[in-house]
Chains A and B, each alone.
Chain A
Amino acid sequence: MIDSVSKEVKSGDIPVLAKAARLDLAPDRLDIVAPALDSVLHLFDALDAVDLGETPPTNSFDPRWRDRS
């Protein structure tokens, strides 16, 4: 069951997240993946400190057919 109070990702959270990703994970993977995912999600929290306002993402779609003349 997902712990909605703590921010820490625990092994019990992983099956639901893996199901959403359509990724079959063996039970022995849960304790391995949880701390890795927890560490990167905490790293991403620093993004919340930035006021992005109306800033668009850096990727953009170029409609030109670049591989044809």
Chain B
Amino acid sequence: MTALTEMSLREVAAKIKSGEVSPVEVTQACLDRATATEPTLNAFSNIMTESAVAEAKAAEAEIKSGTYRGELHGVPVGIKELYDVAGAATTSSSAVRENWRAETDSASVAQLRAAGAVILGKTHTHEFAYGISTPTTRNPWNTDCIPGGSSGGSGSSVAAGSTFMSMGSDTGGSIRIPAAVCGTVGLKPTFGRCSRAGVTSLSWSLDHVGPLTRTVADAAVCLNALAGYDPRDPGSVDVPTEDYTAALGKDVNGLRIGVPSNYYFDNCDPEVEAAVRAAIDLMCAEGAIISEVDIPYPDQIMSIEFALCLAEASEYHRLMLRDNPDLYTEDVRVFLEAGEMMPATRYVQALRARNLMQQAWARVYDDIDLIVAPAVPAPAAKVGQEVFDWGNGIEEPITPVYVRLSAPANVTGLPAIATPCGFTASGLPVAFQAIARPFGEATAIQACDAYQNITDWHTLHPEL
């Protein structure tokens, strides 16, 4: 029998609904799993044992009384340390915010509670989400490797089996990067689809929130709970939501998939490229219509991403940087300082170029429904690794390596799902991402779920 903690969210939800297992049993199994793996992984900043058990007991009583709220009811989830959880610290995994406590729940946490989820604990982020390595935490597939970031604790906890879903945030790939290198699914919704109210900002114009899960179907369940307009978030967009689970169980026959002829496969690990192209070939064999697409403005993608992020992050941190500069970790501090010295005109120039890029990407989608490409160009880096050597005379620092394939969906705001599609010879996960039209989450879910229904990469678990 599959251990409870190795099940998908939907599998365990079915057992909770039928009464085969109780939310208390499931929550205790997750707590036990976390207890066993935390000495190695350190995925959590705060395991909320007492409140989680109380919430599980309440869910159990409610379900027994005949009120079943849906598939998240009684299911333990993790919350990235950036999110406010009432009564708990929101440290952003930083000494700067060591004593910062939340009085109310963030929008996402409130939505998850309303759906009946059990908040198991908070997961580590790279400090203030400003990085891709999450130094506090390790990758369950190889503890000598990073879990990616910035939602590294979320990727690590889901892959390890301590939670069935953990929330992430994605400014330059911070949901999709840890999902890809930890072998989980990572869903970055369309900009404005899910409220960011109560989530510590990195860059207001690029931040997205979304779930990391074991399956695409699980992500669809979570998106049902999280999607919706929220006037408290100035980036929120008032577009009707839909039942994203309606996209599950379909096939890819007739879906028009664009495969980039430039940018996404440049300086890409051969094992990653082979796995992603094999996934595309499989979708083609299942009836998807494949065509090549040219990615517009490839030389400006990272310029726009970093010009917006640097300026906005430095402004968010302006007072904290002056009050407590020594409390920041060095890699975050230096870019907060540098961001204060970039010309304002560069920021506005990036906003103007972003406008052109949005228009150009819209034209790319005239003839396709989705782009499928590598989620990240390399598997998990070793802890302490500073560069990737591409073997062509180019050594690239790890931050741009992980960000450059994620950034297009942040700059354009398009929805994207990282989906596991294989392993390297050394046993590290590999993933593709499917990028859909604005508010086209259902199309991406359909394609990625169809892929998971004919493959088994997502059913494999790390040995810990």
Chain A positions within 8 Å of B, measured between CB atoms, are 14, 17-18, 20-21, 23-25, 29, 32-33, 36-37, 40-41, 43-47, 49-50, 52, 55-59, 62, 66-67
Contacts and interface: CB of A to CB of B under 8 A. Distances in A.
B87 interface: no
Given A47-B353, A52-B349, A66-B231, A14 B341 contact: yes
Contact of A44 (B303, B321, B355, B356): B303
B342 A47 contact: no
A24 B306 contact: no
A58 B354 contact: yes
Nearest to B334: A36
Contacts of B297: 50
Interface of B: 205, 231-232, 234, 297, 299-300, 302-304, 306-307, 310, 321-322, 330, 334-335, 337-342, 346, 348-356, 358
B355 A47 contact: no
A45 B257 CA distance: 33
B303 A47 contact: yes
Contacts of B299: 46, 49
Contact of A33 (B302, B303, B307, B337): B337
Given A55-B356, A58-B355, A23 B337 contact: yes
A66 B338 CA distance: 34
Contact of A55 (B231, B322, B355): B355
> DSSP class of B's interface residues: helix, strand, loop or mixed?
helix
A28 B8 CA distance: 51
Contact of B234 (A14, A45, A58, A66): A66
Contacts of A24: 322
B272 to A, nearest CB: 24
A13 to B, nearest CB: 9
B306 A40 contact: yes
B329 to A, nearest CB: 13
9 contacts: A23-B322, A24-B322, A32-B330, A46-B300, A47-B300, A49-B300, A58-B205, A58-B354, A66-B234
A45 B342 CA distance: 12
A41 B354 contact: no
Given A56-B355, A58-B358, A59-B205, A47 B350 contact: yes
Contact of B338 (A40, A49, A52, A56): A40
Given A14-B341, A21-B341, A59-B205, A47 B351 contact: no
A21 B355 CA distance: 28
A33 B338 contact: yes
B352 A37 contact: no
A39 to B, nearest CB: 8
B435 to A, nearest CB: 18
Contacts of A33: 334, 337-338, 341
Given A23-B337, A25-B337, A47 B304 contact: yes
